[in-house]
Amino acid sequence: MKQYRIIAKCDPYNAKRHYNGEEVLKYDGVTPVQWVMRAGLDEAKAKEALMELAKTGNPYECGIWTWEDEKTVAETAKTIEEDFGEKADMTWYKGPGIYQDESPILLVGETAFQDDSVTYAIEEVE
């Protein structure tokens, strides 16, 4: 069975704020710039863990990022129609996942997202 892990990548300047003692994969000088967030996962569990990682980040917890799915989008469209008497343009919706201002951050099934200066990604372990 293939194994996957979630890695974090960051520039050296900002890595000092984001690295928290995880296993380091790459350094820039003495600064960790790539590290393992989670390991030993199958593909489905890796995707679930990546979504959970996005949901526990500061932008999600502060309400900057929001979960959108067919139900929330339909509710938003209905509210716009009721409040403004016009049909809502919901063409921004690309599928269930996390959005910021109608732009997708991480859709269900995707394998990477960026939070501030850190990119989190799923990779297969060889």
What pLDDT, on the 0 to 100 scale, is given for residue 1?
A: 85
pLDDT higher than threshold 90 for residue 126? no
Report CA-CA distances (Å) from 52 to 44, 60, 79. Answer: 12, 10, 29
Domain that holds residue 113: 3-125
Q: Are 15 and 33 in contact (CB under 8 A)?
A: yes
H/E/C letters for each residue in 17-54? HHCCCCCEEEEECCEEEEEEEEEEECHHHHHHHHHHHH
pLDDT tens profile 61-106: 999 999 999 999 999 999 999 999 999 999 999 999 999 999 999 9
Give the chain's domain count.
Answer: 1
pTM tops 0.85: yes
**CA Rg value for the chain:** 18
pLDDT tens profile 21-58: 999 999 999 999 999 999 999 999 999 999 999 999 88
